[in-house]
Amino acid sequence: MNEYSEECLLTFLKNQSQLFDEPVAETMEEAEAFLEDCMAVVVDSLDEVRDYFHENGIDVDGMNRDELEEASEVFPLPNGQYLIVDG
C-alpha cells in the first residue's frame, strides 16, 4: 500500500478538477483511498513523468517539458515532485 504525503494529498484535493469533472474525494482519507485505488505514483522529475508515460504506452514524444507538466494527469507538488494519476 502506498503512503502519500500530506502535501501530496492536499495538492490532489485542491487540484482534482484538472482531471475530473466532479470531485472524487473531499477529505484527506478519501483522497488517499482514491489514489491507492487508481495506483497513483509520485516521481521525482519530469524525466520520470515522461518515462512513466512511455512505460504505460502513452505517446509523449512531441510534448515539451511545459506541456508534460501541464498534462491533466500530472500534479506538480510543492516539493518539486510530481503526482501522476491515471484518470
Name the residue with higher pLDDT: 79 or 87: 79
Nearest partner of 44 among 13, 16, 5, judged by Cα = 5
Report the pLDDT value the prediction gives residue 3, as an integer from 0 to 100.
Answer: 85
Local confidence band at 86 (pLDDT 50, 70, 90 cut-offs): confident
Q: Do residues 5 and 32 make contact, with C-beta atoms less than 8 angstroms apart? A: no
pLDDT at 67: 95
Query: Hey, which residues does 12 pair with through a beta bridge?
Result: none
Tell me what the mean pLDDT of segment 24-46 comes to: 96
pLDDT of residue 1: 43
Could you tell me the residue ranges of all domains in the chain? 6-84
Query: For residue 22, what are the contacts with CB-CB under 8 A and spacing of at least 6?
Result: none
Average pLDDT over all residues of the chain: 94
The alpha carbon dihedral of 65, 66, 71, 72 has a sign of positive
